[in-house]
A and B are shown apart, each in its own frame.
Chain A
Amino acid sequence: MTIAAAQIVALSPLLMITGVGCLALLLDTMAKGRAPALWLAQLGCVAALLAVANQWMGSGSSQPIWSGMLIVDRMALFLDGVLIIAALATLLVAAPFMREHEFEHGEHYALVLFATAGGMTVVHATHLLSLLIGIETMSLAAYLLVASWRRQPAGAEGALKYLLLGAFAAGFLVYGTALVYGTTGGEMSYAGIAARAARAADNPLFIMGAYFLLTGMLFKIAAVPFHMWAPDAYEGAPTPVTGLMASGIKVAAVGGLVRLLGSAFANPGLALGHAGWVRVLGGIAFATMTWGNLAALRQENVKRMLAYSSIAHAGYLMIGLVALGQKVDGAQPALLVYLAAYAATTLGVFTVVAWVGRRDDERLLIRDWAGMARTRPAVALAMTVLLLSLAGVPPTGGFFGKFYVFRAAMQSPDLAWLVVAAVLNSLVSVYYYLRIVVAMYFRDPVRPWQPFPSVGMAIVLFVTVVVVLALGVVPRPVVELAAGGLVTHW
């Protein structure tokens, strides 16, 4: 294996984020104050975005890196862009949030970058080792980020649950790798596994290994029944971190699943049939979205409700994965568009939640939001648009993403029931999203709300709302980006 210069250039976004993360960590120890680390991190994100753009314009073909451990293709670059923007948004929101609640520390910024680097590795991964490294880098950084608000015991608790179950999942990933490795005669790369899958498909150990890997990944996207950590982790984490977890980490994990299921386990013998993962994933998708929506109905805490809603969205995303397994053509671009819309919406929503609280008064209950439309009409309107996007009401990006995924699913007659179930679930979700709207608009203010001035949060909120509306009204550029510009040979 040679490390050619061309490959380094191809991986430049990933390397940049990692490098800047390390530098930010160093800078934090050396420089006075947090600002230098923050600025370095933000500049690093922008530079990495430019690198992504540069790579995108470059070759149209996919480039395997390091003997098939990673790949640089349009899908990976698209998701890289989403992840880096999520990181940048998190940085912009985290800094004022931490200053307001007085717990700022520079490692936080470095950890955000490390999590992003891990996520980028996951979406570039075409080998079980790179997948594991990516997942674990992302997760370890996430555990620390969740616990980073030391004064809040909820953070440490959430982080503990996250870590214990996350490590549990890592065990599944490792053991699954071992089984797949053994039963395919020494293959760990997706291409290799795919090549040997036909022969190994009736080996029970291979199937077990595949399911162990799937289980490990499903933990990361908080699918039912592996979701137990998510509500506590999302609620206990500082709100900007919750935003990153709900957007960036979920996007990376789903991206990783797309590659894993789309190439390594694409073999019909493994995918279809009674014990195939398509069926299993279909059932899990149904359970996830239903359970997530029903649980969200009973929540009074906004963060916890949004955590369950995030679980439900993972369910909708899995419908796209199921369609992918049925080899539907439009499934992959649909998933990418939905991921982009979902990430933008989630970042916006959590920005508002982060903005609402003040130093000793986080205002996380729905009734604390009463009357916000009177005092802060622009923010209330933005929140309404974002909530409608989460619910899937036109003309928002959330609607278009759901439409696109459901379209893919409907092309396979077995999946029609899933679409109907998803559509009814959307109905249920409208009810609890509207509860926040009701509080903001239809109730009188209980306590006056004085948000702390923050340019960063305003920028993030504005941009996410614009993106969400743009994706709803003029989705064409993104659709063509996701569908046309991608080379989907594995």
Chain B
Amino acid sequence: MPTYAYILVSLALFFVGAAGVLLRRNVLIVLMSVEMQLAAGTLALLSFSRALGDQKGHVFAFFVMALAAAEAAVGLAIVVSVFRTRRTASLDEVNGLKG
């Protein structure tokens, strides 16, 4: 399959993920959208890597995966912390800080 096809798919994934982050209200869905963005990036990296015959993209993708895992861990820990006090996973109600 030509490279641009992969790139188009990854772009689509990226923007869907971005939309999810900006529009969805449930924290867990937002976290998933972020992961989707990272996955899109990974896909792009791998396709370019394959097209160019270079290894750097693959290596970078590994790092991105590690990063995604770390972010998910930290993110979920913070969500749990928020949930403990707020009893809600909806972003609309997490707005004690205003002004």
B65-78 Cβ-contact flags toward A at 8 Å (1 or 0): 00100110011011
Docked complex: A331-354 residues within 8 A CB-CB of B: none
Contact B44 A157 (CB under 8 A): no
**A388, CB-defined interface residue at 8 Å:** no
- B78:A143 contact, CB within 8 angstroms: yes
Q: Are A170 and B63 in contact (CB under 8 A)?
A: no
Residues B82 and A160 in contact, CB atoms below 8 Å apart: yes
Bound complex: CA A235 to CA B97 (Å):
8
Given the contacts A171-B38, A178-B44, A182-B51, A232 and B18 also touching, CB distance less than 8 Å: no
Per-residue CB contact flags for chain A residues 168-211 toward chain B (1 = under 8 Å, else 0) read: 10111011011101100110100000000000000001000000
Which among A148-156, A250-258, A265-273, A285-293 touches the partner chain? Answer: A148-156
What residues on A are CB-neighbors of B71 within 8 Å?
Answer: 136, 140, 163, 167, 170
Verify A186–B54 contact, CB threshold 8 A.
yes
A256 and B38 alpha carbons, distance in the complex (Å): 21
B86 A170 Cβ-Cβ under 8 A: no
Question: Closest approach, in angstroms, between the C-beta of A174 and any C-beta of chain B?
Answer: 3
Give the nearest-CB partner of B27 in chain A.
A160
Do A159 and B97 touch (CB < 8 A)? no
Closest to B52 in A: A186
Which chain A residues border B31 with CB–CB below 8 Å? Answer: 164, 167
A282 interface residue, CB < 8 Å from B?
no
Pairwise interchain contact B70-A163, C-beta atoms closer than 8 A? no
- Assess whether A171 is in contact with B79, with CB atoms less than 8 Å apart: no
A114 to B48, CA, bound (A): 32
A177 contacts B45, C-beta separation under 8 Å: yes
A158–B96 alpha-carbon span in the complex (Å): 10
Q: Is the CB of A147 within 8 A of B81?
A: yes
Would you call the interface of chain A mostly helix, strand, loop, or mixed?
helix
Question: Which bracket fits the contact residues of B?
Answer: 35 or more
Complex CA gap A167/B34 in Å reads 6
Closest A residue to B59 by beta carbon equals A129
> Bound state CA distance, A54 and B20, in angstroms?
49
Pick the contact of A159 from B3, B63, B78 — CB < 8 Å? B78
A-B contact count (CB 8 A): 138
Query: In the complex, what residue of chain A is closest to B75 when comparing beta carbons?
Result: A163
Q: Beyond A133-B63, A164-B34, A182-B52, is A153–B44 a contact (Cβ under 8 Å)?
A: no
Decide if B97 touches A132 in the complex (CB within 8 Å).
no
Look across to chain B and name the residue whose beta carbon is closest to the beta carbon of A166.
B71
Q: Which chain A residues border B94 with CB–CB below 8 Å?
A: 157, 160-161
Q: How far is the CB of A292 from chain B (nearest CB, A)?
A: 14
How far, in angstroms, from A172 to B95 measured CA to CA in the complex? 26
Contact with B along A115-135 (1 / 0, CB 8 A): 000000000000011001100
Contact with A along B1-22 (1 / 0, CB 8 A): 0010001001000100110010
Are A157 and B97 neighbours in the complex by a CB distance under 8 Å?
yes
Closest to A140 in B: B74
Which residues of chain A are near B7, meaning CB under 8 Å? 182, 205
B96 in contact with A154 (CB, 8 Å): yes
A163–B10 CA distance with the chains assembled, in angstroms: 23
**Bound-state Cα–Cα, A232 to B57, Å:** 36
Alpha-carbon distance between A301 and B96 when the two chains are bound, in angstroms: 14
A181/B37 in contact, CB under 8 A: no
Residues A179 and B44 in contact, CB atoms below 8 Å apart: yes
In the docked arrangement, what's the CA distance between A186 and B58, Å? Answer: 11
B44 touches A171 (CB 8 A): no
Interface string of A209-236 (1 = CB under 8 A from B): 0000000000000000000000110011
Interface centre among A175, A235, A300, A301 (most CB of B within 10 A): A175
Residue-wise interface mask of A (416-438) relative to B, using a CB-CB cutoff of 8 A (1 in contact, 0 not): 00000000000000000000000
Question: Which residue on chain B has the smallest CB distance to residue A135?
Answer: B67
* Given A170-B67, A236-B97: A188 and B56 interface contact (C-beta under 8 Å): yes
With A153-B86, A232-B97 known as contacts, the answer to whether A168 contacts B52 (CB < 8 A) is no
Q: Is A304 an interface residue (CB 8 A)?
A: yes
CA distance A159 to B79 in the complex (A): 9
Q: Given the known A-B contacts A157-B96, A160-B78, A185-B52, are A171 and B41 also in contact in the complex, defined by CB atoms under 8 Å? A: yes
- Can you pick out 12 interface pairs between chain A and chain B where the beta carbons lie within 8 Å of each other? A140-B70, A144-B74, A153-B82, A156-B85, A157-B96, A167-B75, A175-B37, A177-B41, A178-B45, A179-B44, A182-B47, A182-B52
What residues make up the interface of A, taking CB atoms closer than 8 Å to B? Answer: 128-129, 132-133, 136, 140, 143-144, 147, 150, 153-154, 156-161, 163-164, 167-168, 170-172, 174-175, 177-179, 181-182, 185-186, 188, 205, 231-232, 235-236, 298-301, 304
Given A157-B95, A171-B41, 5 more A-B residue pairs with CB atoms under 8 Å apart are A132-B67, A153-B82, A161-B94, A172-B37, A174-B37
